[in-house]
């Protein structure tokens, strides 16, 4: 198979770089598993590889679905096979609630983040609700201190948006900037010339801090984003405002945070508490019986 044609098709359809890398990884692994070019393989080969991902690699349903998306794109777009969606069954993804930290736990975690650069980037994930890829690719010019906004360029789905810039986060970023003087325009530059910090480097810093802080919860940069949204909801922020801040295309994606907020659940009155006791009926005294004559 000509990889260049596959890559060009993904680029022409505007797939994100991370999606392109993921699709390419799965298609190459699929080909190596069968030791054959995908052009010579069919639906049964796809089925066998899916069983391999499930039974041997023990991949999650979400990861297996990514393979299905990759292989469907390869065969229907690049190889132009006339196969419908029914040819690519997807495993059902279990509905689970995302992990959310309390505000005290967020403070405990951030205190353990090593390095000013990593701490500033993770504070953006929590303080503005940015995805990890959006945080590491910020430029100095994206911080608008006059309007107290962060310009997120080409976020998920290739969309620009504005995120909030809190006074405390601005103070942290100013302290970071004065201490490091980042160059090349990037707010969080890499040691490699002309590039920004990688998501892998920030994820590793997150894992290290997660272990150091002593919390039993698994903490990622996305956990901070989930916590940001949940805490806004608990403060009474409108769901549609949170949708804009997070960059969600659909409101139902944002609405799932209503299922996460334990504080809102606990504060919601039960209809049982609104039941009124039945009115007490007045007891009618028994009619006195006449004594029998004779």
Active site (catalytic) residues: 131, 156, 222, 225, 248, 257
Measure the CA–CA gap between 123 and 146, rounded to whole angstroms. Answer: 20
Compute the half-sphere exposure of residue 215: CA atoms within 13 Å on the CB side of its CA.
25
Residue with tokens 């995302």: 98
Compute the half-sphere exposure of residue 4: CA atoms within 13 Å on the CB side of its CA.
0
Measure the CA–CA gap between 13 and 10, rounded to whole angstroms. Answer: 5
Measure the CA–CA gap between 263 and 22, rounded to whole angstroms. Answer: 37
- β-pair partners for 161: 152
Alpha helices in 132-279 (DSSP H): 132-136, 167-180, 199-212, 221-234, 239-246, 251-255, 262-267
Measure the CA–CA gap between 257 and 190, rounded to whole angstroms. Answer: 34
Rounded to a whole number of angstroms, the CA Rg of the chain reads 28
Measure the CA–CA gap between 266 and 260, rounded to whole angstroms. Answer: 11
Compute the half-sphere exposure of residue 39: CA atoms within 13 Å on the CB side of its CA.
8
């Amino acid at each position: 198979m000509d990889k260049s044609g596959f890559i060009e098709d993904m680029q022409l359809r505007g797939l994100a770089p991370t999606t392109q890398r993921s699709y390419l990884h799965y298609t190459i692994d699929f080909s190596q598993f069968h030791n054959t070019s995908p052009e010579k393989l069919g639906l049964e080969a796809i089925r066998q590889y899916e069983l391999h991902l499930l039974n041997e690699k023990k991949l999650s349903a979400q990861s297996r679905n990514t393979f299905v998306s990759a292989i469907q794109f390869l065969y229907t777009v690049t190889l132009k096979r006339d196969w419908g969606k029914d040819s690519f069954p997807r495993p059902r993804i279990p509905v689970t609630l995302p992990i959310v930290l309390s505000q005290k736990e967020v403070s405990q975690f951030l205190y353990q983040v090593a390095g000013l650069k990593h701490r500033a980037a993770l504070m953006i994930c929590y303080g503005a609700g940015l995805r990890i890829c959006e945080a590491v690719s910020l430029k100095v010019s994206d911080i608008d201190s006059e309007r107290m906004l962060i310009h997120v360029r080409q976020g998920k789905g290739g969309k620009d948006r504005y995120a909030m810039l809190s006074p405390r986060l601005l103070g942290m970023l100013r302290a970071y900037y004065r201490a490091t003087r980042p160059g090349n325009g990037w707010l969080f530059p890499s040691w490699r010339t002309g590039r920004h910090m990688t998501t892998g480097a920030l994820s590793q810093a997150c894992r290290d801090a997660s272990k150091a802080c002593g919390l039993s919860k698994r903490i990622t940069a996305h956990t901070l984003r989930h916590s940001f949204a949940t805490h806004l909801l608990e403060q009474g922020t409108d769901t549609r405002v949170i949708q804009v801040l997070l960059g969600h295309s659909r409101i139902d994606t944002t609405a799932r945070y209503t299922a996460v907020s334990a504080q809102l659940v606990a504060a919601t009155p039960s209809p049982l508490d609104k039941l009124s006791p039945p009115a007490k009926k007045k007891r009618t005294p028994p009619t006195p019986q006449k004594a029998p004559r004779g």
